[in-house]
Amino acid sequence: MEFLKIVLLCIVGAVAYGLTMDQITARICVEYFSIGHPPIFHTESPTFLALGWGVLATWWVGLILGVGLGAAARAGGRPVVQARELSRPIVLLMLSTGLSAVLAGVVGHALAKSGTVWLVGPLATRVPKEKHVAFLTDAWAHSVAYLAAFVGGGWLCIRTWRRRRNA
């Protein structure tokens, strides 16, 4: 049961992060969601796009983290870690992921504004020219958020496993 609590805690944390991030980035560039993603949600509303994609694009990240972290916290004969003991580390992971996303968005914005990076292929023609910088800002923020979540989540699993070894 405690393993399932850890998985659920990670899914809730990831979805809460996704909803928050998407509410912000949908207002930076709604086209990132309406053009840059498959047309699952037939709306141009930044709020509704962010709600839909905030859940759809993050629940599975939380599931992967939860299974890994649950195994690191519970598997084997070592002393176990309870779900409540992982609440703070999960919140810190989401906050550090958010900080990484903000920094990446700033870098992406600066690079796009200077012409160092640009949209190519079909997106370059489908996204209005005046939205390219905003689109790339969102793209950098989201890409780095996934990277930070996976790297940070892996680190948290390793840290939790080692903590049990030393207990």
pLDDT per residue over 91-142, tens digit each?
999 999 999 999 999 999 999 999 999 999 999 999 999 999 999 999 999 9
At 129, is the secondary structure helix, strand, or coil? helix
pLDDT per residue over 53-102, tens digit each?
999 999 999 999 999 999 999 999 999 999 999 999 999 999 999 999 99
Q: Identify the burial level of 1 via C-beta atoms within 10 angstroms of its C-beta, where 0-12 means exposed, 13-18 middle and 19 or more buried.
A: exposed
Q: Identify the burial level of 78 via C-beta atoms within 10 angstroms of its C-beta, where 0-12 means exposed, 13-18 middle and 19 or more buried.
A: middle
- Could you state, in order of their start, the residue ranges of all structural domains in the chain? 2-166
Contact 132, 30 (CB under 8 A): no
**What Å distances lie between residue 51 and 22, 81, 113, CA to CA?**
7, 32, 28
d(CA 119, CA 127): 9
Number of helices (H), then strands (E), in the chain:
7, 0
State the alpha helices, DSSP H only, in 29-131.
Answer: 31-34, 46-56, 59-74, 83-114, 121-126
Reported pTM: 0.95
